[in-house]
Structure 1
Amino acid sequence: MPDNPHALPGQVFALPGQRLIALEGRDAAVFAQAQFMNDVKALADGHWQWSGWLTPKGRAIALFALLRLSDQRVWLAMPDADADALVEALKRFVFRSKLALCVREDLVIEGRFGAPERAAGPAIGGDADGIVELDLSGDGDARTLRIVPATQAAAADEALAARWALADLRHGLPRLPASQAGQWTPQQLSLDRLRGYSVKKGCYPGQEIVARTHFLGKAKRGLALFATAAPVAAGTEVRGESAALGTVAASASDGATHLALAVLPLERAEGSAWIDGQPAQEIALLDGLAR
């Protein structure tokens, strides 16, 4: 039985705030390889991966699912960042590349709790109606992300959208609000769990910091998941019994369950934790979202 009575098998619902950026043209995949933190060149056509765009200092500006449809068509399914602002920022790096960047207003992103009909693992699914599927299933949670024409958009369901965000956090997918953009390295966000970045692919913004941290073994912090009795905001301090431990990077709530992903030292003494003055119970992250 699903843990949310609204989560009927097959029910499709809107994912508010999620938007699609398209890179199209002869140099689409080449541009994505040069700008984003995962290895687009090694990704086969018709497959997708987690990725992101970093500052020169190796901090995550935006995280997204990158779909390589072909050498000339790359899509970014963007859950949190300001897609319009990101497109304008990326355009400054196009130079002489044969490439068009835009937010696809004619396409919307939806969710469904249940296994995809055509997608599997990193393989993208599609049908004759123009619906594209991604398999976001993880441990104990089958999920399908759908990209569909706006004319076929599903209705909003606040409860289901909240449950979706909670599932993201349970699997260690940070849902970064604007206040946390540019704050954290991929290692601090434990994006190795999602195979979300590459240390071998060559140059991209922030690559030197990411690679140095990896090869010198200097990653000292990572994600920890906490449940609290009431919602907490990203940016809130996590405190131990005698000192500050770290900071909440992302949070989600459905009114009954309240979760927070915090960046904390990888090596720390066991003990109680508090967030915003309330006890916080650490719970294990789920696996299965790596692609």
Structure 2
Amino acid sequence: MSFKPNRVNAPCPALPGVGLLAVEGRDAAAFLQSQSMNDVAALDDGRWHWNGLLTPKGRVIFLFALLRTGPESFLLVSPDADAAEVKAHLQRFLFRSKLVLRDDAGLAAAAGPFAQTDDVSRIIRADDGALALDVSGEGGQRTLWLLPAGHPSLAAADPATTAAWRLADLAHGLPRLSPGQREAWTPQMLSLERLGAFSLKKGCYPGQEIVARTHYLGQAKRTLQRLAGTGTLAESTPVLGDGGRELGRLVCVADAGDGRVEALAVLPAELPAEETLVASTPLSRLPLLGGLAR
């Protein structure tokens, strides 16, 4: 059973850019199992996990939270992709599957008050039809609310709230993938094992062979690392080391306030601690915060 708090009655600023795609029907579970990189068959009704879609070459296209809202119903919550984009991608593989893809789920993503639950992978259902996900981690408590259209607590997007949400995502190692970063990185390069976002035990799915080979042959030579600097940083900017040699690139950036900026970059896993890092500005290293795995 999903946990049920009282109806949410505090202002919840909308989080722009979050795509919500409903997948419903007799074949919904089997279809998602065959297309996504995590084990949908192991996802019980009323629970959620991190998941994503890969190219046949094992590169991440979309990263999302997958909610199992019923025996034959799912909801994809993508922080960086419009639901219509994800729908168009999945429609190419439907063939004769008995299911419906709906990008008009009737819900809006928002940042709201913390809703306590004894299991962070459980979907929280409020009495007023709202859903919520506990996305807390070592950096503090957070709840992502999915509010019905017209909900009285749904407020206009607030730039400060949106920026703080993105900063928390990056601090916990949840990469935010703009269109320019899609199909650029494998799950291991993005350290998605930290989030429990892909499975090595389930059956075939696009990119599965590359993911498994990288894992079992120990070939993940680059990983996700958290960096900080001042001034302006942009995704795809090369990260240079000693002697000006290119070590990797920035994946995503976030404004940390007061002229500071944080970023996630894909860099060599065995990067020496004393290596100087620069990407248009000197960079320092920060630890990735834990606790966001689901």
User: For the superposition of Structure 1 and Structure 2, which TM-score range results when normalised by the shorter chain?
Assistant: over 0.9
Aligned residue in 2 for 1:23: 23
After superposition, give the CA deviation of every residue in 1:49-78 in whole Å (9 maximum; x if it has no partner): 000000000000000000011231011001
Deviations, residues 7-49 of structure 1 (Å, cap 9, x unaligned): xxx6521111012000011111111111000001011110000
- C-alpha displacement at 1:117, in angstroms? 4.1
Distance in 2 (alpha carbons) for counterparts of 1:17 and 1:231:
22
Instruction: Measure the CA separation in 1 of the matches of 2:109 and 2:271.
Output: 39
- Residue number in structure 1 paired with 2:287: 284
TM-score for both structures, normalised by structure 2: 0.92
Q: Using the alignment, how far apart are the partners of 1:14 and 1:82 within structure 2?
A: 15
Q: Deviation digits for residues 170-215 of structure 1, max 9, x if unmatched?
A: 0000001110000000000000000000011010110000011011
Structure 1 match to 2:247: 245
* 1:258 pairs with 2:261: yes
Moved more, 79-88 or 156-165: 79-88
The answer as to whether partners of 1:126 and 1:132 remain within 8 angstroms in 2 is: yes
1:166-181 correspondence to structure 2 within 5 Å: 166-181=167-182
Quote how far apart the aligned CAs of 1:140 are: 3.0
Task: Please give the alpha-carbon distance, in whole angstroms, between the structure 1 residues aligned to 2:110 and 2:39.
Answer: 26
Query: Which residue in 1 is equivalent to 2:115?
Result: 116
Aligned-residue offset at 1:145: 0.4
3-state SS of 2:23 partner: strand
Q: How does 1:40-79 map to 2 (within 5 A)?
A: 40-79=40-79
TM-score (norm 1): 0.93
> Conserved in 1, the CA contact under 8 Å of 2:22 and 2:105?
no
Matched residue of 2:133: which SS?
strand
Distance 2:162 2:291 in 1: 20
Give the deviation of 1:252 after TM superposition: 1.2
Shift of 1:269: 2.0
Q: Contact 2:135 / 2:144 at 8 angstroms: preserved in 1?
A: yes
Question: Where does the alignment leave 5 or more consecutive residues of structure 2 unmatched?
Answer: 1-9
> C-alpha deviations, 1:254-283, integer Å up to 9, x for none?
54341110000101222210112x101110
Inter-partner Cα distance in structure 1 for 2:135 and 2:202: 25
Counterpart of 1:82 in structure 2 is 82
Instruction: Measure, in 2, the Cα distance between the counterparts of 1:129 and 1:63.
Output: 28
Kindly state the Cα deviation for residue 82 of structure 1 after the two structures are TM-superposed.
3.2
* Structure 1 segments of 4+ aligned residues over 6 angstroms from their partners: none
In structure 2, the partner of 1:275 is: 279
Q: Residues of 2 paired with 1:249 and 1:150: CA distance? A: 32
